[in-house]
Amino acid sequence: MTLVKDDSGRGSADDEGDMPGRDDTYVPSQRRLDRERHKRVRARRATAIAALSTLVTAAVLYVVVVSAPGWQRTKETFFDAHYAREAFPKVLEGLWLNVRLLLIVGALVLVLGMLIAIARTLRGPVFFPLRVLAAAYTDFFRGLPLIINLMIVIFGVPALRLQGVTVDPVLLGGTALTLTYSAYVAEVFRAGIESVHPSQRAAARSLGLTNRQALRHVILPQAVRRQVPPLLNDLVSLQKDTGLVSIGGAIDAVRASDIIAQRSLNYTPYIVAGLVFVALTIPMTRFTDWVTARMDRRRAQGGAL
């Protein structure tokens, strides 16, 4: 007897008779086939509508921009192919500095932010001064505009003429970025730590773990997993803000484009630098979206975070 499974998962016997050892064959019902065919038709229709809508929107924007009275002058000033070819290799050369800053500062921000978050969540009256200092740090650097922080560090530290303290604008700019972004990341980590239910800590303590062991092996792993999407968003912002170190004279992608623009009085190099940063940011942004969607699916299915 061949077992035919319907949509409900139950089988029904046909008239071939019961034959021991025969493999069961799954035969989808006509209703299921019709439903899948309908889904494919709807998907193709949605794709076609989205493509048509995109083309119409792009055409309208093109007509509006090109028909503007100042388009020709704007095209010569911002979209000159000659200056784009001249600026592109210089911008790529300066971009390597931005990438190195992202890697080094990003690692320092994660470590410092984690330490500040742990300090803010320590329990007991003996840790009160540490909690106050950590809170004051995050409040100050989250409220201080990044551009002002960069100016204070890059121009203020050399003015002090301290022995053994660097005056390199790249190192000073990286320090300012670390100070600002560690305050934001610390709050992200702290939110993750406080989102872990107190029963997790109590269960760890009941198993004989100390407070430090419970924090290290139980609380922090859960907190970090939950806060991966906002952490990646902060790294995306840091990737763009590395270009601000150019205010101190560091030759990064932004400064390289600025040098060419000031010499030629043409702003095409700025467009080139902006597009390079966008091309560098998009993959990380899409990766962040993928991680967020994946975690949302696992949460909806009741899986581990």
CB 152 within 8 A of CB 79: no
| 44/96 same-domain check | no
Q: What pLDDT band is residue 139 in, cutting at 50, 70 and 90? A: very high
Q: Are residues 25 and 158 in the same domain?
A: no
Least confident of 175-179, 214-218, 237-241: 214-218
Longest dimension (CA), the chain: 97
| Residue 11 bridge partners (DSSP) | 5
pLDDT of residue 171: 92
Give the tens place of pLDDT for each residue, 62-73. Answer: 888 888 888 888
Say if 194 falls within a structural domain: yes
| Domain final residue, candidates 67, 96, 112 | 67
178-194 residue pLDDT tens: 999 999 999 999 988 88
- Angle between helices 228-241 and 81-121 in degrees, nearest 10: 140
Question: Do 286 and 204 reside in the same domain of the chain?
Answer: yes
The CATH number of the domain where 183 resides is what?
1.10.3720.10
Cα torsion through 134, 135, 141, 142, rounded to 10: 140
Instruction: Please check whether residue 75 lies inside any domain of the structure.
Output: no
Give the chain as a 3 state SS string.
Answer: CCEEECCCCCEEECCCCCCCCCCCCCCCCHHHHHHHHHHHHHHHHHHHHHHHHHHHHHHHHHHHHHCCCCHHHHHHHHCCHHHHHHHHHHHHHHHHHHHHHHHHHHHHHHHHHHHHHHHHHCCCHHHHHHHHHHHHHHHHHHHCCHHHHHHHHHHHHHHHCCCCCCCCHHHHHHHHHHHHHHHHHHHHHHHHHHHCCHHHHHHHHHCCCCHHHHHHHHHHHHHHHHCHHHHHHHHHHHHHHHHHHHHHCCCCHHHHHHHHHHHHCCCHHHHHHHHHHHHHHHHHHHHHHHHHHHHHHHHHCCCCC
Residue after which a domain boundary falls, among 67, 91, 112: 67
In a domain, residue 73? The reply is no
Indicate if 7 and 125 belong to the same structural domain.
no
The parent domain of residue 179 ranges over 81-300
The pLDDT value given to residue 302: 63
Does the predicted model carry a pTM greater than 0.95? no
Nearest Cα residue to 146 out of 111, 182, 115: 182
Render pLDDT for 205-222 as a digit per residue (tens, 0 to 9). 888 887 778 888 888 888
User: Is 268 a member of any domain?
Assistant: yes
Where does the pLDDT of residue 233 fall: very low under 50, low under 70, confident under 90, or very high at 90 and above?
Answer: confident
The residue count for the chain:
305
The residue among 23, 40, 67 that closes a domain is 67
Q: Are 194 and 219 a contacting pair, CB within 8 Å?
A: no
Same domain, 58 and 136: no
Q: Are both 193 and 236 inside the same structural domain?
A: yes
How much is the pLDDT for 154?
A: 92
Is residue 16 scored above 70 in pLDDT?
no
- In this structure, are 95 and 205 located in the same domain? yes
Q: Residue 113 CB: number of other CB atoms within 10 A?
A: 24
250 close to 64: Cβ distance less than 8 angstroms: no
Task: Round to whole Å and give the CA distance between 297 and 289.
Answer: 12
pLDDT average, residue stretch 146-164 = 90
* φ and ψ at residue 122, rounded to 5 degrees: -65, 145
How many structural domains compose the chain? Answer: 2
Do 43 and 119 sit in the same domain of this protein? Answer: no
pLDDT digits (tens, 9 = 90+) for 76-122: 889 888 999 999 999 999 899 999 999 999 999 999 999 999 998 88
